[in-house]
Structure 1
Amino acid sequence: MDTRHITYFMAVFNHLHFTKAAEELGISQPTLSQQIRLLEAEVGMPLFDRIGKKVVATEAGSLLYQYGMKMLQAERDAKNAMKELLSEKRGTVRLAVLPSDLDFQLVPLFVEFKTLYPETNLKAYSNIFVREEVLSHKVDLGIGLRGPADKRLVQIPLGSEPYELFVHSESDLAQKSEVTLEELTQHALVMYPKGYLGRDLVDDVCKEQGVELDTAMEVGSASSLLQLVEAGIGATIQPRGLLKQHSTWPNIVSIPIAEPAPVRHLELIYYADRFVSKAQQQLSEWLIDFFKSRTN
């Protein structure tokens, strides 16, 4: 069983469509079908059921997919390790970060990283499903909300950060030293759409208190939310550090929310049994220092 056959299998598994998988791989559909039949002969059982025009993975196919990801990742790790022997500063580091943090917070750190590792390709993605991206080997590192312990992952706590109310400096709320969630039901809010981690975290705390917030507008970007606040459209509830890291919003002030206030608990995660390059290790250390200094 070689990695070429596994690559073919993974493409079919992801698409559940032989023609689309063949197009992705750059081979003909008959060739792909033949290679899958050879793999099925090798493992001694069918990997896909072909029901009319539909392709469905069998139990054996689902099992092989789990090990196939590990096999392909092991091959990538071996190649990366060999590259690092040639040059300590080559390679690629893939990072998934929650949207609000990637919008503003990390650009100076990325600049410093690129200065130290000019030949390393850093790819930073905005994603609300950070843990899933790490577990599927789509990224090397992730910064997300703390989740349950998982033996497949290295999980490093990055501290906790309360949410505060961001309002225009001319708002009636701007002079208050503290606001309650109940008070906010009387004010227009601009928020992330439901389903975003930050929004769901706030809604969960509100639900526990029997409070339901009304939104005047919902957008999926932290930058857009702050622009709406500055334009006087409404207030927003965001992590405290989002505003304190930047002086580009002089007309926005943040107000603490009375207990029980929403609080987010962050963690850095990466796969436990995979190769970690020196560049990735350096970036991890900087991210840990950055977020701990911001949240504690």
Structure 2
Amino acid sequence: MEFLQLKYFQAVARYENMTQASAELNVSQPSLSNSIQRLEKKLGVPLFDRHRRHLKINAFGKVYLGKIEQAFKALEEGETEIKEMAGLSKGHLTICMMLPHLLPTLLKEFLAVHPHVRISQRQLNSTLEMKKELERSGIDFCLSTFPISGPDIEWLTFVKEEMRLTVPKHHRLASRESVNLSEVSEEPFISLPVGTSFREITDDYCRRAGFEPNIAFELEETSAIQTLVEMGLGVTLTLPMTLGNRAFNKETVQLKIVEPTCMRTFGIAWNRKHYLSKAAVHFLQFVKQFFAS
């Protein structure tokens, strides 16, 4: 079975379209079609369902595609490892981080020590998305405010902290040090969008307190949420670590929540079966020290 034949199949499976696949691969459609047919003959099963000129990858094709992508990923990791052994690699990391305000400081300090490393950041909104990317080795690390678990996923907790209720400085509860979450059951809430892990957690805390949150605004940026709270347009649940300099903002007050207990963790996850480059090993050691200090 030829390597190019597998690459051809991968492209056709991705597009489910011979014209688009042949354009990407820079091969003629007849040559591409013949290659796929030879592969199917070799395997003894069709990999696509064909309806006139339309292709749809079938169950056989999906299983085979998964194995091919695993094999290609293993080859890429082998090439990376060999280059590092030969001293040819300068290092590259792909990370996802759920505390974006910490990212500039973290990367600045890491790159000051390891200036040769190139870092790419992925924006993923849920722990499910992170878990999938870790499992397929699409990213090296996830720095998350929620534990990520799986058969091949390693999780290391850095910090545990209690969530706070953030209210405007003139709010009726602003003079208090602590509250029960049920005391704001009638208040407008400002929150992240549905589908994000943080929104799922905060909605769950409200339900534990006996109410469904009245969501007045949904925003994708934590800083924008804090701005609306400052303006007196609602309240929000916040992890102190996500606030950065805004933790000292005089326009809002952070209240301890007595009931229910709203404890979250922050840590790092990686795939233990995924090869960790020298750059990745250095990064893991660095972030351990960064959050320990």
TM-score bracket for the superposition, by shorter chain length: 0.7 to 0.9
**Which deviations, in whole Å up to 9, do the C-alpha atoms of 1:208-258 show, x marking residues without a partner?**
332111122111111211222223322211212112565674433311112
Indicate the SS of the match to 1:170.
coil
The secondary structure found in structure 1 opposite 2:32 is helix
SS at structure 2 position matched to 1:106: helix
- Cα distance in 1 for residues equivalent to 2:184 and 2:19: 53
1:269-280 aligned within 5 A: 269-280=269-280
Match of 2:135 in 1: 135
Deviation at 1:201, TM superposition (A): 0.7
Change (3 A) 1:29 1:177: farther
Deviation per CA, 1:118-137: give whole Å up to 9, x if none.
23210012212211121233
Alignment of 1:115-126 (within 5 A): 115-126=112-123
Whichever residue aligns with residue 33 of structure 1, its letter is S
**Greater mean deviation of Cα atoms: 61-70 or 154-163:** 154-163
1:76 maps to: 76
Distance change (3 Å), C-alpha of 1:25 and 1:206: farther
Alignment of structure 1 residues 85-96 onto 2, 5 Å:
85-87=85-87, 90-96=90-96
Instruction: State the match for 1:146 in structure 2.
Output: 147
Larger deviation, residues 67-76 vs 253-262: 253-262
Q: Distance in 1 between matches of 2:254 and 2:225?
A: 14
SS at match of 1:21: helix
Q: 1:161 to 1:279 in 2, by over 3 A?
A: same
- Name the residue aligned to 2:105: 108
Deviation of 1:200 after TM superposition, in Å, equals: 0.6
Any unmatched runs of 5+ in structure 1?
Answer: none
RMSD between superposed Cα atoms in Å: 2.5
Aligned equivalent of 1:287 = 287
The aligned counterpart of 1:252 is 252
Q: Deviations over 1:29-59 (max 9, x none)?
A: 4343233223323333222121334433233
TM-score, normalised on structure 2? 0.86
Structure 1 equivalent of residue 97 of structure 2? 97
Distance 1:41 1:249 in 2: 68
Q: Is the 8 A contact 1:93 1:280 kept in 2?
A: yes
Give the TM-score taking structure 1 as reference length.
Answer: 0.86
Alignment of 1:8-27 (within 5 A): 8-27=8-27
- Unaligned residue ranges in structure 2 (runs of 5+): none
Task: Give the direction of change, closer, same or farther, for the CA distance of 1:260–1:24 in structure 2 (3 Å limit).
Answer: farther
Q: Structure 2 vs 1, CA of residues 32 and 287 (structure 1 numbering), >3 Å: closer, same or farther?
A: farther
Relative to structure 1, the CA distance from residue 192 to residue 175 in structure 2 (aligned partners, 3 Å threshold; closer, same or farther) is: same
